[in-house]
Amino acid sequence: MAFKKGDRILLIGAHKLVGIVGEDIGSHLGVVDTKKLPGKKEGTVVKTHLGKRFMAITPTVIDIVTSMRRGPHEILPKDAS
């Protein structure tokens, strides 16, 4: 299955990064330009501007959920003291 602009993408390398095809995905390992991915197949290897390699695949629901940031939670009185 080929990627198209707007698809979610999982980059697997030294770390796992989740992003959207057509947007830059950055970390301390460099920035991946995903604008070149539309039309390419799963398993394509992409490089960051620092030369680190990542394999691009379609993420599962678990990959997406585990990459989400945690939001604020209410503090109960028993936890505040």
Q: Which of 45, 51, 44, 55 is nearest to 17 (CA)?
A: 55
Angle, CA 65 vertex, CA 3 and CA 59 arms, to 5°: 20
Is residue 42 a part of any domain in this protein? yes
**Domain boundaries, position 51:** 8-67
Please compute the mean of the pLDDT values over residues 67-73 and round it to a whole number: 85
pTM reported for the whole predicted model: 0.76
Domain count, the chain: 1
What is residue 71's predicted lDDT score, i.e. its pLDDT? 86
Is residue 78 a part of any domain in this protein? no
pLDDT tens track for 19-34: 899 899 888 999 998 8
Q: Which CATH number does the domain housing residue 45 bear?
A: 3.10.330.20
